[in-house]
Amino acid sequence: MNTGAIGPGISVTAFNRCYPNPCFPGVTCTDTPTGFRCGSCPLGYTGNGTHCTDIDECTANPCFPRVQCINTAPGFRCEPCPAGYTGPVLEGIGLAYARANKQVCNDINECEMGLARSCVPNSICINTRGSYKCGSCKSGFTGKQTVGCRSKTERRCPNGELSPCHESRLRHRA
């Protein structure tokens, strides 16, 4: 049985099975004697090289709790740290990267940084995870958060003003 073409005026043209590229975009195609072979899917994708599907790296929970993970094609991105915390935005490609790299958000100490604006002066600020709370008055002060904290040694003048009393007002009492 003769499988080849022989004779005058007959030419054989090699057919390139990789044109146009039958592989997933960005995947190299290799023409072989029996067909073609596609390379591996790009990082962040899974499949056989002809068909590649995006990997959802968010399934590895790379983001800080309460931070939204956004799956991108390819890769993922973590939203910024929640209020009361500070840290970098994390993004990357591939499950291995998402498993090995977790977003770190550190608590902001609002009390030390002077950010506890709702506490009255001379009261105790208590840092909590992601926030703070206002406590009682500091030692040597009396009152509460609703009325303020004033010195225990503070005296009131006869007219209700805080001491030291203005001299002209003291003379009127005599």
Mean pLDDT value across the chain: 85
Q: How many CB atoms lie within 10 A of CB 25?
A: 7
Which long-range contacts (C-beta less than 8 Å, at least 24 apart) are formed by 139-143?
none
Inside any domain, residue 135: yes
| Interval 137-161 mean pLDDT | 79
Inside any domain, residue 26: yes
Inside any domain, residue 11: no
| Single-letter code of the amino acid located at 160 | G
Say if residue 48 is in the same domain as residue 61: no
Inside any domain, residue 23: yes
Number of domains the chain contains? 3
pTM of the model: 0.66
Say if residue 46 is in the same domain as residue 60: no
* Count of alpha carbons within 13 angstroms of residue 170, beta-carbon side: 8
Asked whether the predicted pLDDT for residue 20 surpasses 60, the reply is yes
As a dihedral over the C-alpha atoms of residue 62, residue 63, residue 65, residue 66, rounded to 10 degrees, the angle is: -140
Inside any domain, residue 33: yes
Say if residue 96 is in the same domain as residue 67: yes
Euclidean distance between CA atoms 102 and 90, whole angstroms: 8
My answer on whether omega of the bond before 88 falls inside 30° of 0, hence cis, is no
Asked whether the predicted pLDDT for residue 163 surpasses 60, the reply is no
Q: Report pLDDT for 146.
A: 80
Say if residue 27 is in the same domain as residue 62: no
CATH number at residue 24: 2.10.25.10
| Interval 151-170 mean pLDDT | 60
Say if residue 29 is in the same domain as residue 59: no
Quick check: 103 and 109 in contact, CB under 8 A? Answer: no
Inside any domain, residue 145: yes
Round to the nearest angstrom and report the end-to-end CA distance of the chain: 138
164 confidence band (pLDDT: 50, 70, 90): low
Residue 72 structural domain: 55-107
Asked whether the predicted pLDDT for residue 1 surpasses 50, the reply is no
145 confidence band (pLDDT: 50, 70, 90): confident
Give pLDDT tens digits for 57-88: 999 999 999 999 999 999 999 999 999 999 99
Q: Which of 85, 24, 92 is nearest to 52 (CA)?
A: 24
Give pLDDT tens digits for 87-132: 999 999 999 999 999 999 999 999 998 888 889 999 999 999 999 9
My answer on whether omega of the bond before 20 falls inside 30° of 0, hence cis, is yes
Euclidean distance between CA atoms 21 and 29, whole angstroms: 7
Say if residue 70 is in the same domain as residue 35: no
Euclidean distance between CA atoms 20 and 101, whole angstroms: 38
